[in-house]
Amino acid sequence: MSKSIWIKREEKPPGVADTSTIEELAKDFKCSETLIKLLAARGYCDKDSISGFLDPKLSLLHEDNAINILPNIKDAVARLNDALAKKHKIIIYGDYDADGIISTAILYNFLKIAGFEIQHYIPDRFEDGYDINISFIKDVALKGQHSLVICVDCGTNAFEVREFIQGSNCGIDVIVCDHHEAAKQQASTGKKNTGKYIIVNPKLKSSNYPFKQLSGAGVVFKFIIAALRSFESNIKQRFGPDYLKELLDLVAIATIADVMPLTGENRVIVKAGLQILKNTRHTGLQKIISSAFEQKKEKFNVYDIGFVIAPRLNASGRLGNAQKCISLLTCGDSEIKAAGQENPDEIVSDIEDFNKKRRALQQEIFSQICGSYDFDDIAGNKKIFIEYSDAWHEGVLGIVASQIVKQFNIPAILFKDNDGILKGSGRSIEGFDLHKSLQSCSHHFIKYGGHSLACGITMQKDCFESFKAEITDSNEQLKALDTARKIYYDLEIGFKDIGLNLLDDLKKMEPFGTGNEKPLFFTKNCNVIEQKLSNSSVHLFLKLQNAGNLANAVFFNYTKIQALQECKDLTGKNIDILFYLAISPAGSLQVIIQDIRASL
């Protein structure tokens, strides 16, 4: 049966509460002890922390004193107000992914209402590459006579631009609103610092901000709050009383799209944003939603954002230029038409086409790779997949790398060959710090960046074989990597503990996502009373008994897992299962099996 390793999810400090405390908290919150145990294992062990988690009110956002300790926020707001007073021209430079698009849109809309002379610029993935660059400063900002550039979702590690701004008399200042890890700064040019390069980023080494995991749009949201508070009353009056709250649907989309942990402030933002999304005031977003969903949504969840809405925002930036998405999110229908741009409905249609093309390209490349390489050998020996092709589409390589990681549980780095220049994306697994490993090979790269689980690399094709050999042959971390698939569960329970009441309790933990995973349960010694296959023979239905308690279970798409082919004959056997709880189409409780193994 299953070859995966089952591991109880590591408990977070302060640890599991004792039995008497669990009983008392269950009574206080009128819930099951199972819910309290789940919360305790995730670090919520007292009334205040549990209450804050179960009811994440907007008042829990760090908007008062804490916002003032965001690194350099006061300097950034002061420079913004100086631009307003002196009528300086401002241009926003944003990344081309969903987080960058939304960061650009919400800041542009805010500054436009406030009365700034404002423009925005979304780089082309293929022409400009990632992050702000000297060419933009010289060819766009200087020629456009912009005195202030505001970078969103990028800029922290744009050392070349920073050196240019601080070491010249170009007359341009830069404000960075970013959330990426700060790399080691390059050596100073020694030039006099006559310009300003102000970085607002909770992850800076000097940061005392209490929550470090904001999205790029989350940092921009904080900047907007601080700026709005600083404006004169006549400008504040231009904004409605719910203006900030009405931004949260877009900030929530950015948070989910960038796979940020749904804890702390992000949990507050996403829970509120999902509620606001149903009646969003953003007309462009309304059109994207109407196109993406066949029926009107009464309630949105993290899946709707991560797998339906966000991919559409990302698609145009992956295959072309994200300017179409920006147009939808920064203008009303009449403004788009007045600017001589495409009809908004045509823009949405184009975005849909981009997304369909993205899916087709992604699947084509993934299928080609799976059919061309021996992944059993790669997973067992090399433990990493690194290849390039001039036929692959650069814009989808990160997604394909993620598919390889998910399918084979090994790190993957894929490159597109552009006339001797390789541009690639990598994804990794737990236990292999991709960014750290790349640091030792950085002499091969033109540029690179990322974090432990994802990276971007640009290099000369001539360096590829040396790089590949170095990272595979001499990397001790890689050699020691355990590529066995690991499944982490939250709690061992018996069927006596499951029921509709528990399912209601679990809903209180929503929204689920990175950092707040949907609870996965472990039950051992389940006797298979009966089994049957679906009409398509790809789903397995089981009636199980555990300690005298019955449950109906389903294992969706179990035939895709080669190791589980023997599950065709389980009747009368005892098995252990990992499972989620859900409501069946008939309205009854259903056990959704994730993995099976024979009971010891």
Q: Where are the domains of the chain?
A: 5-27+490-598, 63-355, 373-479
Q: Is 539 a residue whose pLDDT tops 50?
A: yes
Residue 476 is predicted with a pLDDT of: 82
pLDDT above 70 for 339? no
| Per-residue pLDDT at 272 | 97
Q: Is the pLDDT at 247 greater than 60, yes or no?
A: yes
Q: How confident is the model at residue 312 (pLDDT cuts 50, 70, 90)?
A: very high
How far is 179 from 587, CA to CA, in rounded Å?
Answer: 43
Q: Counting every residue, how long is the chain?
A: 600
Architecture of domain 5-27+490-598: Beta Barrel (2.40)
At residue 422 the predicted structure's pLDDT band, cuts being 50, 70 and 90, is: very high
What does the pLDDT read at residue 175?
97
- Mean pLDDT on 374-398: 93
Q: Work out the percent of the chain whose per-residue pLDDT is above 90.
A: 69
- pLDDT for residue 232: 96
The CB-side HSE value for 476 (13 A sphere, CA atoms) comes to 0
Strand order across the 148-152 sheet: 117-121, 89-94, 148-152, 173-177, 197-200
Of the candidates 216, 178, 275, 202, which has an alpha carbon nearest to the alpha carbon of residue 98? Answer: 216
Average pLDDT score over residue span 109-131: 91
pLDDT tens by residue, 540-593: 999 999 999 999 999 998 776 555 555 667 899 999 999 999 998 888 899 999
Q: Are the beta carbons of 404 and 379 closer than 8 angstroms?
A: no
Q: Which pLDDT does position 153 carry in this prediction?
A: 94
Residue 336: pLDDT band (50, 70, 90) is very low
pLDDT of residue 568: 65
Task: Assign 85 a pLDDT band (cuts: 50, 70, 90).
Answer: very high
Left, alpha or beta for 205 (phi > 0: left; psi -120 to 50: alpha)? alpha
The more confidently predicted of residues 131 and 367 is 367
pLDDT at 54 over 90: yes
pLDDT (0 to 100) of residue 17: 60
Say if residue 183's pLDDT is above 80.
no
Q: Which CATH number fits domain 63-355: 3.40.50.300, 3.40.50.2300, 3.90.1640.30, 3.30.870.10?
A: 3.90.1640.30
CA distances from 237 to 113, 229, 231, 234, 240 (A): 10, 11, 10, 5, 7
pLDDT of residue 561: 59
Average pLDDT of the residues in 502-520: 95
Least confident span in 85-89, 182-186, 378-382: 182-186
CATH number attached to the domain at 373-479: 3.10.310.30
DSSP secondary structure of 20-41: HHHHHHHHHTTS-HHHHHHHHH
Nearest partner of 592 among 539, 527, 531, 517, judged by Cα: 539
Confidence bin at 190 (pLDDT 50/70/90): very low
pLDDT in tens, 11-49: 877 655 677 888 999 999 999 999 999 999 998 988 999
CA distances from 139 to 135, 142, 194, 326, 451 (A): 6, 6, 21, 21, 30
* Predicted confidence (pLDDT) at residue 340 exceeds the cutoff of 60: no
H/E stretch holding 505 = helix 500-507
**SS3 label, residue 549:** strand
Q: Which of 520, 493, 506 is nearest to 54 (CA)?
A: 506
Q: Is pTM, for the whole model, over 0.85?
A: yes
